[in-house]
Chains A and B, each alone.
Chain A
Amino acid sequence: MKNPLSRRAFLETSLFAGASTLMASRLAFASAPTDARFVFVLLRGALDGLSAVPPVGDPDYAGLRGQIALAKTGEGAALPLEGPFALHPSLTFLHKSYAAKELAVLHAVASPYRERSHFDAQNVLESGDLRPHGSTSGWMNRALTALPAGKSPEAGVALGANVPLAMRGPAEVASWSPTKVAALDDATLARITDLYARDPLLSRRLADALESDAIANEAQAAATAEDGEAPMMNTVVERDAKEKRGYNARYAETARAAAGFLKRDDGPRVAMFDTTGWDTHANEGGAQGQLALRLRGLDAALAALKDSLGPVWRNTVVLVATEFGRTAAINGTRGTDHGTGAAAFLLGGAVAGGRVLADWPGLSRANLLDARDLKPTRDLRTVMKGVLRDHLAVPEGALDSKVFPDSAAARPMDGLIRG
């Protein structure tokens, strides 16, 4: 396809019988019921919350953390927040966002899951259910179906080849990632569309793919036409651009692609992407090292998201969360093992930020869960529910039963969104 817009035109004018109705992707809307945007960034592998948001003022912190403890002052010192808390020195964009009151930091949070399997924990975090494998759909998708104004469900987009569990379910969700091979011509595509006429799954998927491809291509074409050169970036993004390699650069690219979808008036309102590599069992590092590098990539990706969203950032909330935390003490290989209480971030122009939201249990041995993990004092679902209710206007009744089954006791957190 030579012209990015022609594939879209083709969708609307397909000559093949049946194709035009089958191609009716529900991804794009003339008028969406809400201006609010929501992005979920899932960190798979269990982010070490005690390094990302080190409680440097906790009397037990330095002892437990040994060689990987972050310093309060001096070279490579953590970036101060309120109380005993600080941010990892890699998280410079987040630190600025905190100062700008666009970042709320959550600590000692956890999903209802209390075992230590990554895969079951991710399943619970994504499904919104109480038990692993309790549901084959995800909380974000069910939230989309519960939006008040839509006659048809509002759409979302997952950045990646496939749709992660959190976004699976009855509402239409496309996946998008760059498809390099673009030689496919319209005539062949039309015949394949026809061939899928009796296959509901494949026909729906193909229609969504073509639609999101068109949107992404338009966004890219528009960005290039607008200014010919890269927009003004903050220093983190610039630094990452110089490092144009590996995961870190790819995550920033993904964030920009997400923004391309979200900033359209008629585009999806909800997006999700995930990142991996957080399972730091050995040689985790402190101010420098393995985790520091990953955090820098995450920080740069979030900066890129803000940068690309432009004015839409004002209406945006980004939730960054992980399946569980890691052990309070380092292990024998200068890393940390699977734990429980974790850190999370709420970021965006719509967030009532500049705060650390934590009922801090402390790190003394008596206060640790099973004498090893940070004790969770807040159910992560209360945060998700607060955002969905106050930002996307999902009715509370639906949140308690449909979006997060049997969760009435986990009350939505108040005051997360700027009034």
Chain B
Amino acid sequence: MTATQKDTAAAIAANRFGLGARPGELAVIGADSTKWLLRQLKGAPPVLKGEGLKPSAETLAKVIELRKEVQAERREKKKDAGDEQDKVVTALKLPAVYRPVYIDEVYARFSHSVSTDRPFLERLTQFWTNHFAVSVDKIAVLGIAGAMEREAIRPHVTGHFQDLLLAVEKHPAMLLYLDNPASIGPNSKAARFVGKRGNGRKVGINENLAREILELHTLGVDGGYSQADVTTFAQAISGWSIGGQDNGRRLAKLGVDNGTPGEFLFREVFHEPGAKKVLGKSYGDNGVRQGETILRDLAMRRETARHISTKLARHFIADDPPKAAVDRITRAWLDSKAHLPTVYEALVESPEAWEQPLAKFKTPADYIYSSYRALGIPLREKRRALQPFESLGQRNLMPGSPAGWPDASADWDGSSALLKRIAWADVVAQRMGDSRNARDLAPQLLGATLTDDTAKAIARAESGSQALTLLMASPEFMRR
């Protein structure tokens, strides 16, 4: 490391690898930035605390109950509208159940992000949440997307990728988001049963989850799989479902287990029987283990290692990730059998990560977190506290697609996006008024990345709050 690099290293560690420096954080980091980062990976990941947090199964069970009530109400009125109508009525009632849960979840996450002293670990957690994106614009996951992060992602962030992968793909939020619970093999017992009743209802495979696992979660779009691999893999995970759901009721006649409401359930009667060939390898039919085995194999594939290493390097090093770093991280992945701390270590020990300060343009969430951490802004009442995410264009857990939020400057640096950021910074600065001194804060937050221009502009500001606006609007605070 050159002398200049040593100077900027603490700022890079706090602002790019972390969630933005808090006053005093650069001093804590000191001379050994790598050590500060790796230390955060030691010990169990923190458990998110907050009012109102509950298991996803509990929330889902409530929704299943709700649907039963709707059905009972209809039967009482002797309407013959049927199943579809019940689903619509239930869907209309869902937000009332789900919205408060969603708010509790994202508030707890926000609160943790602005206060944690293991910000690298939290950034990694949210990297994975975005990698395995479920988006709450699909109402069915609004109340359980936050729980998925707590239940499936946080416990495995410092474990092995294959465990993380399995936990996520079996989580009810992911299953619902990508339409797997009612995916039924064409030769399954359920399909044959429906066929015999002969009412013309068609059942079959839904390939959404299988495709996104291959394309987004593991191999990557250039990972060498075919449409046939997608279809066969979808058949292998047919039956990966959720307990207590209505479609089990009809099957009760077959003497089928309907599982625990709201928890993962392998519905054997939905499962397409037989051996499946995926990516040239044959997998015997051993029920739920068939899909699990395929997932474990996917986790170890070179394409998966490369795909995710590239994403990590893009997130932590530069929009256009340097090849040497990607190679190094990929190798660590394969050599360690996807042991994530080893992978992270290869990332932070890549010299490329320290060569170019401010290489990343902050996303709105980065900008909000780092502002809160920088100024120690007190969190307001829950709904109001979450408002900035909406006005700056990055609603919590709502990337809008299973690909998650994009991760390059061009995706976030639009002129309107910049103006919104500045306008928000100004409102925050006015609220904080003279309670924070921008001139003292600037070097504490930006370290050696603070430019003379910004320092001068802050020093010459006509008021304390204007100085804070200038600090938050400065080119070096817009980036990480």
Interface residues of A in 160-210 (CB under 8 A from B): 160-163, 165, 168, 174-177, 179-184, 187-189, 191-192, 194-199, 201-202, 204-210
- Encoded as 1 (CB less than 8 Å from any B CB) or 0, chain A from 129 to 159 comes to 0001000100000000000000000000010
A161 to B182, CA, bound (A): 37
A281 to B401, CA, bound (A): 13
Indicate if the CB atoms of B206 and A281 lie closer than 8 Å: yes
Indicate if the CB atoms of B470 and A209 lie closer than 8 Å: no
- Encoded as 1 (CB less than 8 Å from any A CB) or 0, chain B from 172 to 197 comes to 00000011001110000000000000
- Encoded as 1 (CB less than 8 Å from any B CB) or 0, chain A from 29 to 57 comes to 00000000000000011000000000000
- Chain B residue contacts of A209, Cβ below 8 A: 415-416, 418-419
**Smallest beta-carbon distance B267→chain A, Å:** 13
Indicate if the CB atoms of A161 and B221 lie closer than 8 Å: no
Indicate if the CB atoms of A158 and B414 lie closer than 8 Å: yes
Indicate if the CB atoms of B475 and A282 lie closer than 8 Å: no
B108 at the interface (CB under 8 A from A): no
- Encoded as 1 (CB less than 8 Å from any B CB) or 0, chain A from 322 to 334 comes to 0000000011110
B159 at the interface (CB under 8 A from A): no
Contact residue among A67, A118, A331 (Cβ-Cβ distance under 8 Å from B206):
A331
A116 at the interface (CB under 8 A from B): yes
B426 at the interface (CB under 8 A from A): yes
A265 at the interface (CB under 8 A from B): no
Indicate if the CB atoms of B419 and A213 lie closer than 8 Å: yes
A144 to B457, CA, bound (A): 37
- For the complex, would chain B's binding face be called helix, strand, loop or mixed by DSSP majority? helix
Indicate if the CB atoms of A184 and B414 lie closer than 8 Å: no
A335 at the interface (CB under 8 A from B): yes
- Chain B residue contacts of A210, Cβ below 8 A: 419
B474 at the interface (CB under 8 A from A): yes
**Smallest beta-carbon distance A236→chain B, Å:** 23
**Smallest beta-carbon distance A382→chain B, Å:** 26
- Chain B residue contacts of A174, Cβ below 8 A: 414-416
**Smallest beta-carbon distance B289→chain A, Å:** 23
A212 at the interface (CB under 8 A from B): yes
Indicate if the CB atoms of B137 and A192 lie closer than 8 Å: no
Indicate if the CB atoms of A202 and B420 lie closer than 8 Å: no
B35 at the interface (CB under 8 A from A): no
Contact residue among B200, B201, B422 (Cβ-Cβ distance under 8 Å from A192):
B422
- Chain A residue contacts of B401, Cβ below 8 A: 44-45, 118-119, 276, 279
Indicate if the CB atoms of A212 and B416 lie closer than 8 Å: yes
Q: A180-B391, A206-B415, A333-B182 are in contact. Are A277 and B206 (CB under 8 A)?
A: no
A283 at the interface (CB under 8 A from B): yes
**Smallest beta-carbon distance A327→chain B, Å:** 9
B205 at the interface (CB under 8 A from A): yes
Chain B contact patch, size range: 35 or more
A9 to B418, CA, bound (A): 21
A66 to B204, CA, bound (A): 13
Indicate if the CB atoms of A208 and B415 lie closer than 8 Å: yes
**Smallest beta-carbon distance B425→chain A, Å:** 9
**Smallest beta-carbon distance A167→chain B, Å:** 10
Q: A161-B420, A181-B427 are in contact. Are A205 and B474 (CB under 8 A)?
A: no
Indicate if the CB atoms of A188 and B426 lie closer than 8 Å: yes
B59 at the interface (CB under 8 A from A): no
A31 to B466, CA, bound (A): 39
Contact residue among A45, A165, A198, A333 (Cβ-Cβ distance under 8 Å from B179):
A333
A50 to B348, CA, bound (A): 50
B203 at the interface (CB under 8 A from A): yes
Q: A115-B221, A191-B466, A195-B453 are in contact. Are A162 and B227 (CB under 8 A)?
A: no
Interface residues of B in 202-254 (CB under 8 A from A): 202-208, 211, 215, 221, 227, 230
- Chain A residue contacts of B325, Cβ below 8 A: none
Interface residues of B in 343-400 (CB under 8 A from A): 391-393, 400
Interface residues of A in 230-277 (CB under 8 A from B): 276-277
B258 at the interface (CB under 8 A from A): no
- Chain B residue contacts of A179, Cβ below 8 A: 416, 419-420, 423
A370 at the interface (CB under 8 A from B): yes
A204 to B215, CA, bound (A): 36
B440 at the interface (CB under 8 A from A): no
Interface residues of A in 62-92 (CB under 8 A from B): 66-67
B58 at the interface (CB under 8 A from A): no
Contact residue among A116, A176, A183, A276 (Cβ-Cβ distance under 8 Å from B427):
A183
A335 to B424, CA, bound (A): 41
Indicate if the CB atoms of A161 and B414 lie closer than 8 Å: yes
**Smallest beta-carbon distance B410→chain A, Å:** 6
A283 to B205, CA, bound (A): 14
A252 to B400, CA, bound (A): 19
A117 at the interface (CB under 8 A from B): yes
A385 at the interface (CB under 8 A from B): no
A184 to B428, CA, bound (A): 11
Q: Which residue of chain A lies nearest to B463 when distances are taken between CB atoms in the complex? A: A188
- For the complex, would chain A's binding face be called helix, strand, loop or mixed by DSSP majority? loop
Contact residue among A181, A188, A332 (Cβ-Cβ distance under 8 Å from B205):
A332
Q: A45-B401, A331-B205 are in contact. Are A202 and B416 (CB under 8 A)?
A: no
- Chain A residue contacts of B411, Cβ below 8 A: 162
A158 to B417, CA, bound (A): 12
A296 at the interface (CB under 8 A from B): no
A337 at the interface (CB under 8 A from B): yes
Contact residue among A158, A181, A191, A338 (Cβ-Cβ distance under 8 Å from B457):
A191
Indicate if the CB atoms of A205 and B208 lie closer than 8 Å: no
- Chain A residue contacts of B478, Cβ below 8 A: 202
A120 at the interface (CB under 8 A from B): yes
- Chain B residue contacts of A208, Cβ below 8 A: 415
Q: Which residue of chain B lies nearest to A132 when distances are taken between CB atoms in the complex? A: B221
Indicate if the CB atoms of A332 and B415 lie closer than 8 Å: no
Indicate if the CB atoms of B416 and A282 lie closer than 8 Å: no
Interface residues of A in 278-300 (CB under 8 A from B): 279, 281-283
Indicate if the CB atoms of B221 and A184 lie closer than 8 Å: no
- Chain B residue contacts of A189, Cβ below 8 A: 422
B412 at the interface (CB under 8 A from A): yes
**Smallest beta-carbon distance A215→chain B, Å:** 12
- Chain A residue contacts of B470, Cβ below 8 A: 188, 191-192, 195
Indicate if the CB atoms of A282 and B206 lie closer than 8 Å: yes
A22 to B41, CA, bound (A): 45
Indicate if the CB atoms of B416 and A162 lie closer than 8 Å: yes
**Smallest beta-carbon distance A60→chain B, Å:** 15
B304 at the interface (CB under 8 A from A): no
A151 to B409, CA, bound (A): 29
- Chain A residue contacts of B391, Cβ below 8 A: 180-181
**Smallest beta-carbon distance A229→chain B, Å:** 28
B295 at the interface (CB under 8 A from A): no
Q: Which residue of chain B lies nearest to A162 when distances are taken between CB atoms in the complex? A: B414
A331 to B208, CA, bound (A): 11
A144 to B230, CA, bound (A): 40
B454 at the interface (CB under 8 A from A): yes
A276 to B399, CA, bound (A): 11
Indicate if the CB atoms of B420 and A117 lie closer than 8 Å: no
**Smallest beta-carbon distance A8→chain B, Å:** 14
> Could you say which of A161, A201, A204, A210 has the most chain B C-beta atoms within 10 Å of its C-beta?
A161
A208 to B182, CA, bound (A): 49
Indicate if the CB atoms of B423 and A182 lie closer than 8 Å: yes
Q: A161-B416, A174-B415, A175-B415 are in contact. Are A184 and B410 (CB under 8 A)?
A: no
In the complex, the 4 A-B pairs of residues with the closest C-beta atoms, listed nearest first: A332-B204, A162-B414, A175-B414, A209-B415
19 contacts between A and B (CB under 8 A): A116-B227, A132-B221, A161-B392, A161-B416, A162-B417, A175-B417, A181-B427, A191-B466, A199-B475, A201-B413, A202-B475, A202-B478, A205-B414, A206-B419, A282-B206, A331-B207, A332-B205, A333-B206, A338-B211
Q: Can you name 18 extra interface pairs (CB under 8 A) apart from A120-B221, A282-B179?
A: A44-B401, A66-B202, A116-B211, A118-B401, A162-B412, A177-B416, A181-B420, A188-B469, A195-B457, A199-B475, A204-B415, A206-B415, A276-B137, A332-B203, A332-B205, A332-B206, A333-B183, A337-B207
